[in-house]
Chain A
Amino acid sequence: MATKAASPVIPVNQTPKLNYLNNGHGLKSWLLTTDHKRIALLYLVSVSIFFFIGGIFAMLIRLELLTPEGDLLSADNYNKAFTQHGMIMVFFFLIPVVPAVLGNFLVPLMIGAKDLAFPRINLLSWYLYITAGILFLHCMLNGGVDTGWTFYSPFSTEYTNTNIVEAGIAVFIAGFSSIFTGLNFIVTVHRMRAPGMTWDRLPLFIWANYATSLIMILGTPVIAITIVLVAVERLFHLGIFDPRLGGDPLLFQHLFWFYSHPAVYIMILPSMGVISELIACFARKRIFGYKFVAISSMAIAVFGFLVWAHHMFVAGISLYAAMIFSFLSFSVGVPSAVKVFNWTATLYKASITYATPMLYAFGFIGLFTIGGLTGLMLATIGIDVHVTDTYFVVAHFHYVMVGGVLMGYLGGLHFWWPKITGRMYPEGWAKLSALFVFVGFNLTFFPQFILGYLGMPRRYWQYPPEFQVLNVLSTAGASILAVGYLLPMIYLLWSLRYGPIADANPWNAAGLEWKTSSPPPTFNFDETPVVTWEAYNYDEIPEKELEAPVAR
């Protein structure tokens, strides 16, 4: 289950220094906190719960697909299962997970600030998130939604009899939560950097979150408006999208993807930032081509807004529009490739150790490479016509979303766990679970590429029998993957009480967050740091004698 945030950790053998965890006790001190670190923990608990619920739906989907017939669930329940899976994972897990948990915790620490610029708005954003989440769960328990996470009209507006409006309101509110987070990050990065923390000294994680924040505040309003239009058409039958009422169903798709494609970068960019931090630390090097990696984040944020119609190559857009969007989609591939090349080049003449976070970073590079290259296949219009709306697309975006975002998140969570809790996680178990995640993930999703090229459409409750073997492989993989996700939930909870106590900088990492105690005091630094060095000045930091600290 989810990590318990409400149990503050007091190192036993240490004079209990006042830190953000033991500075105030009781539920009220958590629910009314304006401390970005505590809010990060509130988010950690809540996204973990949603990940767990979304995961249960994933298992239901995979179990149903064990056999070609629709037998475990009814058709309607299957449709609801993949819809809840998609909506929960996208809106309540993937979008907030890295910015709202790791970003919230780390942005002020990494730039040497006491807190985010607007601590109360930060708390408000969590309350919006939780309100949206509860509303969505209420909707789910009252029958759920069956449109797929994409809400395509006119199915969503005039045909389905499930509770679209309530789910829409939930997504609408969740959107404001991410707008507020984005706003907070942008202002904080501009206004609250410590003396000497110039833009070219910012850690790449900050650059990535800054780029993400721009997309959040520029893109999210569009999905909010789109949802309002869906609700208006559904409730008052105003013709916006349904052609019977005089609307245009492609308008919906344009509006939806205008947000939802950049949203993919909201999810992946912060994880890319995490990977840069991990590779620098465990290779003991500055990131090769720091400037290009930073610029590539910004380039992705900008280009990401220009490619939305590549989701619509067979939807009925014009021939020439399709060609332009195909070309632009290739352009956004360049900055992503630049990142992968730079991470790889960073390993050259490095001094590498293989702690769990680094294993996740390796996993990220591999899976993101596959996810990215299959993205190029989808951008190639002649191929896209055949594979769009099939399992090929499902496999592709899981390679990016799960293989990318989640690998980055888990790597980051392990890396900063000692900073967040003051305790080390058990290294052996962590390595084992990283292996489970990697193997399980590939076994789950690689067969889906083949299924897709064979022509199995996505969102199918029953399928022709010749697709069964590949589906069974996929379900088997999903079971392994589930173990890989459950293990960290257990051992991280365990480590809260039994993990070895971590010192201020257990990895000997660069970065201001490691210069304060673990866990940090409420206002982060006892005195405001003055920065006179570049990010990743690993040549000035001695390596530790030990390998990574090991539990027991």
Chain B
Amino acid sequence: MSKYLPLWPDQASTMAGQVDALFIYVLLVSGIMTALIFIAVTVLAIKYRRVPGRKAQQIEGSTFLEIGWSVLPFFVMITFFIWGAIIYFQERTPPADATEVYVVAKQWMWKIEHMEGQREINELHVPTGQNVKLIMTSQDVIHSFFIPAFRIKQDVLPGRYTTLWFKATVPGRYHLFCAEYCGTMHSGMGGDIVVMEPQDYAKWMAGGPFAPLQDTGKELFASLGCATCHRSDIQGRGPNLQGIYNKPVLLEDGRTVVADENYVRESILNPTAKIVSGYKPVMPTFQGIVSDEQLNALVAYVKSLSQPPVGTAGLQGQPAASAAQPQNTQVQ
């Protein structure tokens, strides 16, 4: 690839090849269509140019042709649609074994928090061969996390989490861009995705004493007084949070919602929005009291309460997939 005139982006994730394959297919079909129309227009325009003594022949039209050139392209488009939807479905469905990384966007920087406690700004280090899920939110306006070499992008919104996942394949340094216009230094809100071999990554990750994110969350959980009501031993004034993550929760108004990251987040910031059945709306809001980083730590802690104890990992089934399974409907 030329340094000065690149024509095709790097492929550095499992998704990149898939998106490129689809793009090349659509490009070929569109290229053929364009060529057919260009050739038809050119040939007809020359062949039927005005010559003295020849008149244009009036043709009414042809229902057969009209239906043909409505239906045939539509079938071709359906192939675009199906293939595109399959890829999109994969892009939007993070694998259950993905390592989680929290991302907080603000004008005009990316703040990254690894579960191990490592923090980075405008850089994200990831190992090859590992599924990585980004849990992202914004402190101010809408941003968009875009890694061209991975062919993925997701808007990052204030007030909620959006997620993005990938599996990097080729070590190297790749562009990270903000793709949603966010003000003055929008074009400066970029950085690097550093993809490393797993052993290099382990070395990088080991470089310092960090408290794991869920431990920070545990401390906050205690210092903010959450633990007085959300008790793990006896029934407190708030629901017991053990094992609730990604499980359906029956609400006071009869609805059922899945206790995903967004639900946990909302319950901290706006506790009365969705009251769990059997509880009273007594929890105060923590809006303006906890920062987005602290929220992430709290969410990570609540999620950690649903993880199998160390040593039995992998034996307890897939937590992310369980939400849809009916046998897991019991939650207090």
Contact = CB atoms under 8 A, between A and B. Distances in A.
Answer whether A and B are interacting partners: yes
Contacts of B159: 243-244, 249
A327 B81 contact: yes
A159 B107 contact: yes
A366 B38 CA distance: 7
A386 B146 CA distance: 8
B154 interface: yes
A326 B84 contact: yes
A4 B236 CA distance: 80
A466 B162 CA distance: 30
A284 B49 CA distance: 11
Interface in A334-382: 334, 337-338, 340-342, 344-345, 347-354, 362, 365-366, 369-370, 373-374, 376-377, 379-382
Given A289-B66, A390-B179, A543 B146 contact: no
A513 B159 CA distance: 58
B225 interface: no
B152 interface: yes
A344 B40 contact: yes
B49 A455 contact: no
B130 to A, nearest CB: 21
Interface string B34-45: 100110110011
B70 A338 contact: yes
Interface in B133-180: 140-142, 144, 146, 148-149, 151-155, 157-160, 162, 175, 177-180
A82 to B, nearest CB: 9
A334 B74 contact: yes
B178 A347 contact: no
B197 interface: no
Q: How large is the interface on A (under 10, 10 to 19, 20 to 34, 35 or more residues)?
A: 35 or more
Given A249-B157, A288-B59, A337-B73, A373 B30 contact: yes
The binding surface of chain B is classed by DSSP as: mixed
Given A155-B183, A350-B56, A457-B179, A469 B4 contact: yes
A154 interface: yes
Given A159-B140, A380-B81, A383-B23, A75 B185 contact: yes
Contact of B155 (A147, A314, A334, A354): A314
Nearest to B42: A362
B187 interface: yes
Contacts of A337: 69-70, 73
B184 A154 contact: no
A349 B56 contact: yes
Contact of A380 (B84, B91, B92, B152): B84
Contacts of B283: none
Interface in A304-356: 313-316, 319, 322-323, 326-327, 330-331, 333-334, 337-338, 340-342, 344-345, 347-354
B164 to A, nearest CB: 9
B187 A376 contact: no
B279 interface: no
B77 A330 contact: yes
Interface in B227-249: none
11 contacts: A79-B186, A154-B140, A154-B141, A249-B157, A323-B85, A341-B65, A377-B27, A381-B84, A382-B22, A390-B179, A454-B148
Interface of A: 70, 75-76, 79, 146-148, 150, 152, 154-155, 159-160, 242-244, 246, 249-250, 283-286, 288-292, 313-316, 319, 322-323, 326-327, 330-331, 333-334, 337-338, 340-342, 344-345, 347-354, 362, 365-366, 369-370, 373-374, 376-377, 379-386, 388-390, 450, 453-455, 457-464, 466, 468-470, 538-539, 543
Interface of B: 3-9, 18-19, 22-23, 26-27, 30, 33-34, 37-38, 40-41, 44-45, 48-51, 54-62, 65-66, 69-70, 73-74, 77-78, 80-81, 83-89, 91-93, 107, 140-142, 144, 146, 148-149, 151-155, 157-160, 162, 175, 177-188, 270
